[in-house]
């Protein structure tokens, strides 16, 4: 385990962590009772249209790529970024299995990525909480959007009513997450989203544990 206070600042550590859990990630989704509706709703909130270009940050195994690909059609593109080689290998298999011709996968760190053109929509699918500084990650993603574009975040949190109850157990929760899906129980994603300066539309599931947050960049 990394010896630094916040292991998410060590990109190699993050990469190796996701490489290790890539094969078992679907198991953890079942373990954590991730609603089936969650991913579908996130894709809907992108409001992607034919011919558009969409970015998926931390695309992982590519479970949402087929649905987004269908939305943008043959004249659009879906770009997926991830640090993990094994996650991207799984995403490539997903693309082949669904015969997706409009998918472009790139192994890179978000902070080193510079798109040639702005995107119509950007998605964090259970990936924002893996960043050392979610505020900076959101600012980068926001800068990638064209005016009127949509930023969609699908993630999990400790529900506000449970924060006080779970506080004594946070060290154990944090350790478990760092050994598995790299969630961050200390993250306040909605606060970070509000700092973008645009209204945040919020949908919650499983008593507020899972959420889809949408922010639209002003025209």
CA atoms of 57 and 121, how far apart (whole Å):
11
The reply to whether 13 falls in a domain is yes
Gyration radius from the chain CA atoms: 16
CA atoms of 191 and 168, how far apart (whole Å):
23
Distances in whole angstroms, Cα of residue 30 to Cα of each of 24, 33, 35 = 10, 5, 9
The reply to whether 122 falls in a domain is yes
Provide the whole-model pTM. Answer: 0.85
Burial class (CB in 10 A: 0-12, 13-18, 19+), 174: middle
The reply to whether 2 falls in a domain is no
The reply to whether 110 falls in a domain is yes
- 115-128 confidence digits (pLDDT tens): 999 999 999 999 99
CATH of the domain at 81: 3.40.50.150
The reply to whether 76 falls in a domain is yes
CA atoms of 199 and 207, how far apart (whole Å):
22
Nearest to 121 by CA among 63, 79, 75, 67: 79
The reply to whether 48 falls in a domain is yes
Nearest to 141 by CA among 111, 117, 116: 111
Nearest to 17 by CA among 210, 177, 188: 177
- 165-208 confidence digits (pLDDT tens): 777 777 776 666 666 665 666 667 778 888 898 999 999 988 77
Number of structural domains (the chain) is 1
The reply to whether 1 falls in a domain is no
The reply to whether 207 falls in a domain is yes
pLDDT score, position 53: 99
The range of the structural domain enclosing residue 22 comes to 7-216
């Amino acid at each position: 385990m990394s010896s630094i206070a916040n292991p998410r600042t060590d990109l190699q550590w993050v990469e190796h962590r996701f490489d290790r859990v890539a094969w078992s990630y679907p198991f953890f989704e079942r373990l954590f009772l991730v609603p089936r509706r969650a991913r579908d709703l996130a894709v809907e909130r992108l409001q992607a249209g034919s011919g558009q270009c969409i970015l998926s940050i931390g695309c992982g195994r590519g479970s949402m790529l087929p649905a987004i690909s269908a939305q943008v059609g043959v004249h659009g593109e879906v770009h997926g970024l991830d640090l993990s080689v094994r996650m991207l290998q799984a995403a490539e298999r997903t693309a082949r299995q669904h015969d997706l011709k409009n998918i472009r996968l790139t192994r890179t760190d978000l902070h080193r990525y510079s798109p040639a053109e702005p995107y119509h929509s950007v998605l964090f699918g259970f990936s924002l909480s893996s960043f050392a500084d979610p505020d900076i990650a959101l600012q980068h993603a926001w800068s990638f959007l064209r005016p009127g574009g949509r930023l969609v975040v699908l993630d999990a949190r400790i529900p506000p009513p449970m924060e006080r109850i779970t506080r004594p157990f946070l060290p154990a929760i944090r350790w478990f997450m760092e050994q598995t899906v790299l969630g961050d129980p200390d993250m306040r994603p909605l606060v970070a989203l509000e700092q973008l300066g645009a209204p945040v539309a919020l949908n919650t599931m499983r008593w507020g544990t899972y959420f889809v947050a949408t922010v639209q960049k002003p025209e």
